[in-house]
Structure 1
């Protein structure tokens, strides 16, 4: 059976020693009193909930799955899920970072980021039920009417109700311009919505008394394509003006998807038959409103893979220390045993360190993005808010795609550490591989994220936002450029920063002549950009650790951080050289292949 220990020490290191998040939070009036002790205390309790309440339900939830009553269209979540959710609500965890105006605790988003990492390590399928509510909350807060906010936000804040995002239809996934769901206006200002949605995570369940579905649909006179999409709030049960629940609305679960992973989450086929909903935002502007929810979800999906990478690493490390197989190539290490623990073997260490480096690098990036989100929403300086939002928009596709790709690499590597036992269900490792696999697909496949990064976020403004991140790298290079002890961390990111600038210019010229050049390079480009971002944060973490060691701190945590940084730059970061070479080969080898694909 697997185990899980919340990585509180590493979270504290990143927040308080590397990023000094409270310095930024003090400049945001609503978070000015949030100190390190408060953050640590909240996350310590959050870690207990994750490890003691959610984690024990992970394997059983995967084995049992969800059950649909085809007569009533009601879905029952796995045993224990509903009770765990009741504890989550009672503990106030749903309200952690929500606005006090709606009953929230008003804590920084970065705290919620760390809490949800632990929940994802503990049980991704369970965590998706409350996790999706945050996106619905943010979309309604940003675009809802006063009446919608008053009706829905207090219940989403408390966790009494949950939320979903109903986008995908059987004939269209990412290309939402093709959707067919119709919304007919009614005399009272509401709409009757009819259509079919698929792949709706947490679309139906018995864990909360109501579900607020945010549904994309077309008005009768809507323009074709993505410019004719509107967004609607459609509750599972009708809600009266005083908040009491009425009869069942015309939206129900027609079937559950049979999936590779996340079996404990109800991925539903939703049928709408004249379901009554209210318009969120402006007519035909629904995609812009939904992007608030989608961007939150993309950050959340990256966090899912971060959580799985961490828990897979922890269990692979424990196994590698205990499992004995063969002798070390350099000579016997465990003379009192018939064989050495497999952790002595170089390739086992490579697999373990790969997961560790990707988990700790991903954690630093995730926490950094959490702070950007707090500054975008709460900083009093308009320019700081705008700059934070712009940088967060650049990093969002990297969080979603790079962290989930790394999660795939890491969970597979950790399963491999177990050998044959990794393939056996009772050890839990194969579930981490299966659960992570969806993260590379939903909320926009990683190819879509790559096109968004290169096409929109970089080339779309001639690299202006990329240059803003480049200035962070340049400042660190200037600060540590003459420090010999930092050379192995600083030189690689300095070189790659210059290479990415030149490569981006090349791709811009090629893309102007042939748009397929951007499509051919995008996935590799995002991975290079991901390494540049990770390299920056690993250099910053090494910087802090080396300073502590130089000051005489003998805590092995700092030595471990430096050793992991060295591994990352020696064994993972050099992938960028191959990727830049493949990018420069262009699109011809891909597109001039009609005979090969006939």
Structure 2
């Protein structure tokens, strides 16, 4: 019963009209020849694959789940393996990967847009190639030439898939206390022994081989995070031809029975002296793993953009068709027994909240995708450094703010359907269950908040935040002389000034009491999130106003809707920032003065 249509019109608006990606990519030699027509063609074909191949399997995967067959064997739901074969055949996993290893070399921003559609269609299925992309990033950055030759080509082609194995039963966020051991074997390889839990796509039947990137300790490793190394541990050891050979001593011990994402195998992985090779330098594994982790955090943000979009589409369609009660201002469909529920103010609030959040998240995440392209490929070192700082600053916001809002959006979508939303066949309750994990894995959203405030903002005395502030002001400068834009620019500028004051206040208090950072972190992240979304809606409204001033597009309802949604955002969602700032300023006293015995 649920449906999904790739939102190509809004994607084109963000890429071509708001971000001007064709112009921006001309500054990057590797992408200078990519035009709007090429981008649109990729997204149209990618959208067709997602809507026609992946989406029909979404409820199937949720209903069947993965099956543990015993002796480490896991099978995926009906149709998943065939869909993966089509994915590999179409080269979709290679979109943004290095041509040296068989990739198509397209910009990351285009890969981000495709990821959104994949996750709208089927988040659980999309996690299989998503983990491979993270493994690719880590090996591309830190692998030896030999490791790259053996593993990257297979990961790019999709013949092999990847995982990241961090978490242990006693060690989640605090990786410094992990116990998995790596014993040198005397031939340059290591025997990896230990158990990892919550390993997404840890075992399955989609690919010929699975490449695990595993954090472990050498015998003489120092305690804490400075004693962690990273290892490649393949399910099958590559033979002399680079094909799967001897079975390695790594097996799935069981799969988790979860609230959502049933179609993805979340595994307990047992390493029993499995043969591994080190990635990067000894005791420096966390540096390499964070390349993968940051990729995963950005990917989780895209998961929530995708889920919010598909949930919005289905709740909107229902609201237009479901007849219940009459409008408070009088009947709208006099020939019907009742009016469609979209006439009711609070139904519109729920729909517009979803619309405002998902469209701002799309603009923000694509903007970040373009920044990643500049970070890695721009010929100017200063531009690369500036964009690296922006990506580092905003990664926890993408992961934290977008996933919070994505969950709220899916619950609002379910609420629009009322009782039908709670029933499985309509699909909305699955979106709610699937969306809930996005706020937890790859670092909980509280961890993202601590990372943002403690490391990314206060850690460099606000330098990255000030750099981002200048970038936003520069981007909105063309709209500054438009009188009609002041209704949007004024609250945006006010919030930016308030964030500067708030940051200084928290920094001063934190020098006396570090708990002040922990107490303020979560409302601070949401405040920064609203600053970012205010920026996104200012840009969207400015572009739309210019289009409506052009006789050729003066009556286009798309641009009228952009401005109307921007007005809704600033009227109904932006005001949350004032309450968040008050919470952040309230400090730690009300939290930490509460004696543990009083709970």
**Distance in 1 between the 2:42 and 2:476 partners?**
35
Give the secondary-structure state (helix, strand or coil) at the position aligned to 1:269.
strand
CA displacement, residues 51-78 of structure 1 (integer Å, 9 cap, x when unaligned): 00000000011000000111x3110000
> Paired residue for 1:133?
132
Give the secondary-structure state (helix, strand or coil) at the position aligned to 1:208.
coil
CA displacement, residues 417-437 of structure 1 (integer Å, 9 cap, x when unaligned): 000000000000000000000
Equivalent residues in 2 for 1:366-381 (5 A)? 366-381=365-380
**Distance in 2 between the 1:479 and 1:79 partners?**
52
CA apart distance, 1:597? 3.9
Q: CA RMSD in A?
A: 0.9
**Distance in 1 between the 2:240 and 2:187 partners?**
14
Indicate conservation of the 8 Å contact 2:476/2:539, yes or no.
no
Say which is worse superposed, 235-244 or 160-169, in terms of deviation. 235-244
Give the secondary-structure state (helix, strand or coil) at the position aligned to 1:273.
strand
CA displacement, residues 99-132 of structure 1 (integer Å, 9 cap, x when unaligned): 1100111111111100010000000000000011
**Distance in 1 between the 2:481 and 2:386 partners?**
30
**Distance in 1 between the 2:454 and 2:287 partners?**
18
CA apart distance, 1:476? 5.2
**Distance in 1 between the 2:22 and 2:591 partners?**
48
> Paired residue for 2:411?
412
State whether structure 2 residue 23 is matched by structure 1 residue 23: yes
State whether structure 2 residue 229 is matched by structure 1 residue 204: no
**Distance in 1 between the 2:109 and 2:341 partners?**
37
State whether structure 2 residue 181 is matched by structure 1 residue 182: yes
CA apart distance, 1:550? 1.1
CA apart distance, 1:596? 6.1
Give the secondary-structure state (helix, strand or coil) at the position aligned to 1:447.
helix
> Paired residue for 2:119?
120
Displacement over 6 Å in runs of 4+? none
> Cα gap change, 1:415/1:402 in structure 2, threshold over 3 Å: closer, same or farther?
same
CA apart distance, 1:481? 3.8
**Distance in 2 between the 1:310 and 1:225 partners?**
41
**Distance in 2 between the 1:39 and 1:241 partners?**
39
CA apart distance, 1:482? 4.3
**Distance in 1 between the 2:248 and 2:198 partners?**
20
**Distance in 1 between the 2:243 and 2:480 partners?**
63
Which runs of no fewer than 5 residues in structure 1 stay unpaired?
Answer: none
> Paired residue for 2:56?
56
Give the secondary-structure state (helix, strand or coil) at the position aligned to 1:107.
coil
State whether structure 2 residue 561 is matched by structure 1 residue 560: yes
CA apart distance, 1:331? 1.1
CA displacement, residues 229-264 of structure 1 (integer Å, 9 cap, x when unaligned): 000000001112320211211111000001000000
> Cα gap change, 1:96/1:473 in structure 2, threshold over 3 Å: closer, same or farther?
closer
Say which is worse superposed, 475-484 or 278-287, in terms of deviation. 475-484
Give the secondary-structure state (helix, strand or coil) at the position aligned to 1:586.
coil
**Distance in 1 between the 2:240 and 2:490 partners?**
62
> Paired residue for 2:41?
41
> Cα gap change, 1:595/1:237 in structure 2, threshold over 3 Å: closer, same or farther?
closer
Q: Taking structure 1 as the reference length, what is the TM-score of the superposition?
A: 0.99
CA apart distance, 1:200? 0.2
> Paired residue for 2:325?
326
**Distance in 1 between the 2:401 and 2:381 partners?**
30
**Distance in 2 between the 1:478 and 1:430 partners?**
43
CA apart distance, 1:477? 5.7
> Paired residue for 1:279?
278
CA apart distance, 1:182? 0.1
CA apart distance, 1:472? 2.7
CA apart distance, 1:479? 4.1
> Paired residue for 2:90?
91
CA apart distance, 1:468? 1.1
CA apart distance, 1:46? 0.1
CA apart distance, 1:357? 0.7
Equivalent residues in 2 for 1:129-528 (5 A)? 129-475=128-474, 478-528=477-527
Q: Taking structure 2 as the reference length, what is the TM-score of the superposition?
A: 0.99
Give the secondary-structure state (helix, strand or coil) at the position aligned to 2:263.
coil
**Distance in 2 between the 1:370 and 1:473 partners?**
16
CA apart distance, 1:211? 0.4
Indicate conservation of the 8 Å contact 1:473/1:497, yes or no.
no
> Cα gap change, 1:113/1:476 in structure 2, threshold over 3 Å: closer, same or farther?
closer
**Distance in 1 between the 2:261 and 2:472 partners?**
38
Give the secondary-structure state (helix, strand or coil) at the position aligned to 2:198.
strand
CA apart distance, 1:222? 0.2
**Distance in 2 between the 1:379 and 1:74 partners?**
44
> Paired residue for 2:594?
593
> Cα gap change, 1:140/1:595 in structure 2, threshold over 3 Å: closer, same or farther?
closer
State whether structure 2 residue 588 is matched by structure 1 residue 584: no
Indicate conservation of the 8 Å contact 1:477/1:494, yes or no.
no
> Paired residue for 1:67?
67
Q: How many pairs does the alignment contain?
A: 597
